[in-house]
Structure 1
Amino acid sequence: MDKKTLEFVTYCISKLSDHLKMPQTEVFRRLYESGILYNYIVPSYDVLHTFSSRYLMEDITDFMREEGVL
């Protein structure tokens, strides 16, 4: 994972933590264990990083719900 992608993943976890009112460690655990982190967020960086923060949070939380993570 390159530096830009790592920074984006960190940003996503931080924003999701605020959005979901959940500790960052719990957000990371759910994303990692479900495979969303390495099967969706990381490979989709080129597209996802162009989204607004609000849309990004909606997109990821919708995906988390679809996968039964939330």
Structure 2
Amino acid sequence: MSRETTEFVIYIINEVANTRGLYPSKVYKVMESTGCISKYLIPFYDVLHSMSSQSVVEDVLEYVTSRGESL
């Protein structure tokens, strides 16, 4: 994973945490367990990093919800 991708993933984890009032570690655990990081954020980085933060946060929340988790 490139440095830019790593920074993007960390940024999105923190954005989701701030939006939901959660600790980033909790958000990371849910995103990791649902495959959101490895199957969504990393593979689609090229498209996602050009979208607004809010759009990506909404997509992440939808992704984890569709896999039976919630944030």
TM-score range, shorter chain: over 0.9
Helix, strand or coil: the match of 2:9?
helix
Higher RCO structure (Cα 8 Å, ≥6 apart): 2
In the alignment, structure 2 segments of 5+ residues that lack a partner are none
What residue identity is the alignment partner of 2:46? Answer: D
State the Cα distance separating 1:3 from its structure 2 match. 0.3
Aligned residue in 2 for 1:4: 4
Give 4+ residue runs of structure 1 displaced > 2 Å after superposition: none
What residue identity is the alignment partner of 2:58? Answer: E
Q: Determine whether 1:49 maps to 2:49.
A: yes
Q: Determine whether 1:22 maps to 2:22.
A: yes
Aligned residue in 2 for 1:13: 13
What residue identity is the alignment partner of 1:61? Answer: L
* RMSD (Å), alpha carbons: 0.8
State the Cα distance separating 1:7 from its structure 2 match. 0.4
In the alignment, structure 1 segments of 5+ residues that lack a partner are none
Q: Distance in 1 between matches of 2:65 and 2:50?
A: 22
Q: Given the two structures, how large is their TM-score scaled by the length of structure 1?
A: 0.93
Quick one: percent identity of the two aligned structures?
30
